[in-house]
């Protein structure tokens, strides 16, 4: 059985989550909008999940809007709010997920201007540049809580204070942070937050936008008026039920999971450093599960492929577009050279990982590096 070390991409379904979902894939198939008992059962299940998510985030149920995924929630915040406000500037960090950066850029068609906020060489938002960015009239600011590649955690609390002083609506994408570090909605001080089910051992097909009650958005999808009119379309009941259970588990397991993952991460980093790895993020500022590194002269894609053959699933930092491998935009924004960025690989740990997985992974990595370097030296002769 291959060892999965790519939990920032997606997570497996927790057994407890699956158990909770099964009734809604069977007899509990009703449409939550129906007035009969089948509908009522489905509706109650959704409301229960809503309160589980609210409980995990410290907000009230009425603040949780279900979407189909994190990308949709990010789109809903930016586009839904932009269509309600007078066009101004939308500011976001240079390392946002494309569902933020591309949504923001699409607002140019309706008269908005965009401003990317710089990050430093460690992947941290440059606070001076953030202050400068919002010194001109700005409608919205979006900065992620934790980055999917580097795992670096931003000081969203300080950014939201800056935004509030200027009366700017502030959003954070907490998709990667949820379940890995402790936080809640009120203490971050943001007006909106995105989370996603499949990153916290829930099913794919559910996400949520958590909203400050003072925020008014226009929906992206019009129709039957589900989710208080903010997201029409018959709800994915089973996925939402699973999301609710996963959110509760994420909250209750976070502390224990973080400390066990942090120990494994430390071992990984020490051993990889010994093999000559260069790291892209500051361990102290990164999620407890994420290690992002490269070996000079080895393409990230090559290492991912070789490790896959050895039975280990990791990710490269490169994005494939139109058949060409592009270095990670996050690393380029951090000032990493394109050559070094092409070598980036990410190991992201999960609850199921054990010390034995780490030991086996490191052994396979040693063998792979030896093989690749002896191939390279043979090619040079
Ligand atoms: N935001 C971040 C930081 C992510 O890492 C991801 C997914 O990788 C998303 C948003 C999108 O979430 P989803 O896959 O639920 O659309």
- Is the C-beta atom of 251 inside 6 A of ligand 1? no
Same fold, 3-9+254-380 and 15-249: no
Whether residue 381 is predicted with pLDDT greater than 60 in this model: the reply is: no
The confidence band for 300, taking pLDDT boundaries of 50, 70 and 90, is: very high
How many angstroms does the Cα of residue 323 sit away from the middle of ligand 1? Answer: 23
How many CB atoms are closer than 10 A to CB 321? 8
Nearest CA to ligand 1 atom 12: 70
CA-closest candidate to residue 293, choices 327, 340, 334, 329: 340
> What is the Cα–Cα distance from 258 to 272, expressed in whole angstroms?
20
Domain coordinates in residue numbering, the chain: 3-9+254-380, 15-249
């030991």: which residue's tokens?
A: 359
CA of 349 to the centre of ligand 1 (A): 17
Is residue 7 over pLDDT 80?
A: yes
Q: How far is the CA of 97 from the centre of ligand 1 (A)?
A: 7
Per-chain mean pLDDT for the chain:
96
On the 0-12 / 13-18 / 19+ scale of CB atoms within 10 A, 249 is buried
Catalytic residues: 320
Ligand 1 neighbour 287 (Cβ under 6 A): no
Whether the CB of 148 sits within 6 Å of ligand 1: yes
324, pLDDT greater than 70 = no
* % pLDDT > 90, the chain: 94
The class of domain 3-9+254-380 in CATH terms is alpha beta
**Burial class for 214, CB neighbours closer than 10 Å (0-12, 13-18, 19+):** exposed
Is residue 69 in contact with ligand 1, taking CB distance under 6 Å? yes
**Cβ(176) – ligand 1 distance below 6 Å:** yes
CA of 367 to the centre of ligand 1 (A): 33
Residues 6+ apart with CB under 8 A from 102: none
H helices present in the chain, as ranges: 15-25, 37-57, 70-82, 98-106, 127-133, 156-165, 185-188, 237-274, 300-309, 329-333, 338-341, 355-380
Instruction: Tell me how far the alpha carbon of residue 194 lies from the centroid of ligand 1, in angstroms.
Output: 9
Answer CATH for 15-249 from 3.30.470.20, 3.40.640.10, 1.10.10.1150, 3.30.70.20: 3.40.640.10
Residue 10 CA: nearest ligand 1 atom is 8
Model confidence pLDDT, tens digit, residues 164-183: 999 999 999 999 999 999 99
pLDDT band for position 376 (cuts 50, 70, 90) = confident
Q: Which of 6, 98, 152, 196 to mutate to test the pocket of ligand 1 (most atoms within 8 A of CB)?
A: 196
246-270 pLDDT, tens digit per residue, is: 999 999 999 999 999 999 999 999 9
Whole-number Å distance between alpha carbons of 132 and 280: 26
Report d(CA 92, CA 163) in Å as an integer.
12
Cα-to-centroid distance, 53 and ligand 1 (Å): 18
Answer whether residue 322 shows pLDDT above 90.
Answer: no
The answer to whether the beta carbons of residues 92 and 114 sit under 8 Å apart is: yes
Ligand 1 contact via 207 beta carbon (within 6 Å): yes
144 lines ligand 1 (CB under 6 A): yes
Q: Against a cut of 0.85, is the pTM above it? A: yes
Residue 99, ligand 1, Cβ within 6 A: yes
Dihedral sign from CA coordinates of 157, 160, 162, 165: negative
Stretch 288-308: mean pLDDT, rounded?
96
Q: What was the pLDDT predicted at 29?
A: 98
Q: Reply yes or no on whether the pLDDT at 157 is more than 70.
A: yes
Query: Is the pLDDT confidence value at 119 over 60?
Result: yes
Say if residue 199's pLDDT is above 60. Answer: yes
């Amino acid at each position: 059985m291959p060892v999965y070390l790519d939990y920032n991409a997606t997570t497996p379904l927790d057994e407890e989550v699956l158990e909770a979902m099964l009734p809604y894939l069977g007899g509990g198939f009703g449409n939550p909008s129906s007035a009969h008992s089948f509908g009522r059962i489905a509706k109650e299940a959704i409301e229960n999940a809503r309160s589980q998510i609210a409980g995990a985030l410290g907000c009230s149920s009425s603040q949780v809007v279900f979407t189909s995924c994190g990308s949709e929630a990010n789109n809903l915040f930016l586009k839904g709010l932009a269509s309600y406000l007078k066009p101004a500037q939308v500011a976001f960090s240079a390392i946002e997920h494309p569902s933020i950066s591309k949504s923001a850029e699409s607002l140019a068609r309706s008269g908005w201007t965009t401003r990317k906020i710089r990050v430093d060489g460690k992947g941290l938002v440059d606070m001076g540049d953030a202050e400068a960015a919002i010194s001109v009239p700005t409608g919205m600011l979006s900065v992620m809580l934790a980055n999917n590649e580097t795992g670096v955690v931003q000081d969203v609390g300080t950014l939201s204070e800056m935004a509030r002083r200027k009366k700017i609506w502030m959003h954070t994408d907490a998709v990667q942070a949820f379940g890995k570090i402790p936080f809640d909605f009120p203490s971050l001080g943001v007006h909106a937050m995105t989370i996603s089910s499949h990153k916290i051992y829930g099913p794919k097909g559910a996400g949520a936008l958590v909203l400050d009650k003072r925020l008014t958005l226009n929906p992206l999808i019009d129709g039957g008026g589900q989710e208080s009119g903010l997201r029409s379309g018959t709800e994915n009941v089973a996925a939402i039920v699973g999301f609710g259970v996963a959110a509760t588990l994420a909250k209750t397991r976070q502390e224990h999971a973080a400390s066990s993952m942090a120990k494994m991460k430390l071992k990984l980093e020490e051993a990889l450093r010994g093999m000559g790895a260069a790291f892209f993020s500051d361990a102290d500022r990164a999620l407890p599960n994420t290690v992002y590194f490269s070996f000079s002269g080895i393409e990230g894609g090559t290492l991912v492929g070789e490790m896959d053959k050895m039975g280990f699933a990791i990710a490269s930092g490169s994005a494939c577009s139109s058949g060409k491998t592009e270095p990670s935009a996050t690393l380029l924004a951090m000032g990493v050279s394109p050559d070094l960025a092409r070598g980036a690989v990410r190991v992201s740990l999960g609850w199921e990982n054990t010390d034995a997985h780490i030991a086996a992974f490191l052994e396979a990595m040693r063998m792979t590096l030896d093989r690749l370097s002896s191939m390279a030296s043979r090619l040079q002769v």
